[in-house]
Amino acid sequence: MIKRKYRKWVWIIAVTLLISNWQGFKNLSGLNDWYYRYSNISGTFTVIEVPRQGIVYKEPPTKNFILDKAFLEGCKAPRIPQSDTIVYRLFAINPLKFWRWGEYIFDWRYRLPYTDWEAVKKRRGFGYLEISKGCMGF
């Protein structure tokens, strides 16, 4: 049995974990704004998901986030190679961010393959920056 003086702290920690992992709290507080960033491996396609502005992607039916005509509609000059259509998440899993624990377990975004943004930036270089605004959000 938990001692009486520790019981209060256990309740405070439990309530903090529950509230901080509630999706509505994250959207209201802005914790998820500008956090969900995606890119293909060459960096010719980059997007940012901003839940507060309504820019939210749905779980792909094939469990793979693959570039198709729906995503490439805004691109004026789609020069994205056919072999580079898999989209990677650019946000890592950090166990110290307790407010994301629920997402790490249940959210489809964390099942996408991960790649480091610095590695993508090196591959992209400056030559690809002229493609179009519709293809690159950052």
Structural domain includes residue 137: no
Structural domain includes residue 136: no
Q: DSSP letter at 60?
A: P
- The pTM assigned to this predicted structure is 0.74
Residues with Cβ < 8 Å from 98, sequence gap 6 or more? 17, 20, 21
Domain extent at residue 8: 4-130
Question: Is the pLDDT reported for residue 123 higher than 90?
Answer: no
Count of the separate structural domains present in the chain: 1
Structural domain includes residue 135: no
Question: Is the pLDDT reported for residue 99 higher than 70?
Answer: yes
Q: Note the pLDDT tens digit of each residue in 18-39.
A: 888 887 787 777 777 678 888 8
Query: pLDDT at position 72, please?
Result: 60
Across residues 91-119, what is the average pLDDT? 89
d(CA 120, CA 42): 6
d(CA 16, CA 12): 6
Query: pLDDT at position 69, please?
Result: 59
